[in-house]
């Protein structure tokens, strides 16, 4: 609100001996900040032409002040009822605290409600029946310090992989033996190991191994129809599961790594792969028709472009599944010589 047009009106009243300090401040606010102190008076002065200002804003302020004044008078008039109602509402909220559910499970905080991953978990629970709840899933989530940056680059994923390997290297002592929580075991295939030696998951080519096995059976005179039929069944099962070349034709995060297969698409070019495009839609494992990790389980805070490809992400997640009590017992009974305690 502007100043009064009439210069004869003083901005600050003359001090009076019979007025207190609070009264003088009240009067000065009335003269200096009229629109804030009494919007109705300021609006009246503008309509009479004795002052200028923004009529619309002062009118709205007048409405708010009048409504709040009426509410205040009503509260003052019915103070007992207001206090009782406030105590009743507060008590209702306190009783409702008993029904509050605190979600400490990171799965529920990470997964999107109504997302594809939640539907897949519900589908598994419906058609597979009881799932061993004693299986403990540990989550490893990697985030960025800078919110404007992206985590989809090779060094971030390699650092994530390093931490996962350290987590899997934790040892648990069972009696006189030691076993890893998640051993990094190479696949053991008797016939293949005898011919090719020890193979790793990085260099395993299931399609080629099956082809070599089929050729060896055909060249040997001792091979029977049952052996050939077994090879045909294995080939059929592999096609149904989507098992082809494994990991050897997938891009390497570090193409300079000696363990990077020569058949990798970026082995010769030495170029860093487009991680966002590779993670779009999720990732596939050995059995592509069954082993599929949804996108929501791998990255968090993803931003996509017009083609629905991930261009930016703020977090990475890895699920480390630990053995349940029964699984650990069965594993030890098979791989570890039982310690006999007879006579103890």
Rounded CA-CA distance 96/233 in Å is: 60
Split at pLDDT 50, 70, 90, the class of 311 is confident
Of 15-24, 74-83, 111-120, 250-259, minimum mean pLDDT range: 15-24
Q: Which long-range contacts does 223-232 make (Cβ < 8 Å, 24+ apart)?
A: none
Averaged pLDDT for residues 218-245: 76
**Residue 62: CB atoms within 10 Å:** 18
Of 62-71, 188-197, 315-324, 325-334, minimum mean pLDDT range: 188-197
Length of the chain: 344
Of 50-64, 207-221, 238-252, 283-297, minimum mean pLDDT range: 207-221
CA proximity to 150, closest of 285, 312, 42, 279? 312
Rounded CA-CA distance 85/269 in Å is: 74
pLDDT in tens, 152-176: 888 888 888 888 888 777 665 544 4
pTM recorded for the entire structure: 0.47
Residue extents of the structural domains in the chain: 21-97, 106-205+245-335
Q: How far is the CA of 115 from the CAs of 103, 111, 121, in angstroms?
A: 18, 7, 10
Q: What is the pLDDT of residue 130?
A: 45
């Amino acid at each position: 609100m502007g100043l009064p047009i009439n210069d004869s009106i003083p901005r600050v009243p003359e001090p009076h001996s019979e007025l207190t300090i609070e009264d003088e401040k009240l009067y000065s606010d009335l003269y200096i900040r009229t629109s804030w102190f009494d919007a109705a008076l300021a609006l009246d002065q503008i309509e009479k032409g004795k002052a200028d200002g923004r009529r619309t804003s002062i009118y709205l302020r007048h409405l708010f002040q009048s409504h709040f004044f009426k509410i205040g008078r009503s509260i003052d008039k019915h103070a007992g009822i207001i206090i009782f109602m406030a105590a009743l509402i507060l008590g209702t909220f306190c009783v409702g605290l008993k029904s509050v559910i605190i979600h400490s499970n990171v799965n529920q905080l990470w997964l999107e409600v109504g997302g594809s991953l939640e539907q897949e978990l519900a589908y598994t629970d419906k058609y597979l029946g009881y799932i061993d709840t004693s299986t403990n899933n540990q989550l490893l989530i990697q985030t960025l310090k800078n919110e404007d940056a992206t985590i989809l680059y090779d060094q971030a994923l390699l650092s994530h992989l390093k931490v996962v390997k350290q987590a899997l290297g934790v040892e648990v002592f069972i009696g006189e033996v030691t076993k890893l929580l998640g051993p990094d075991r190479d696949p053991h295939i008797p016939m293949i190991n005898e011919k090719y030696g020890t193979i790793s998951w990085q260099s395993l080519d299931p399609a080629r191994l099956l082809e070599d096995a089929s050729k060896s059976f055909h060249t040997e005179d001792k091979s029977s129809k049952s052996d050939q039929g077994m090879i045909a069944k294995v080939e059929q099962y592999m096609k149904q599961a989507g098992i082809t070349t494994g990991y050897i034709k997938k891009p390497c995060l570090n193409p300079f790594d000696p363990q990077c297969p020569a058949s990798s698409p970026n082995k010769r070019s030495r170029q860093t792969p487009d991680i966002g495009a590779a993670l779009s839609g999720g990732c596939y494992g050995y059995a592509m028709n069954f082993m599929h990790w949804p996108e929501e389980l791998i990255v968090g805070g993803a931003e996509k472009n017009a083609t629905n490809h991930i261009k930016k992400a703020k977090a990475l997640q890895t699920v480390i599944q630990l053995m349940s009590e029964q699984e650990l017992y069965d594993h030890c009974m098979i791989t570890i010589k039982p310690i006999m305690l007879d006579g103890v």
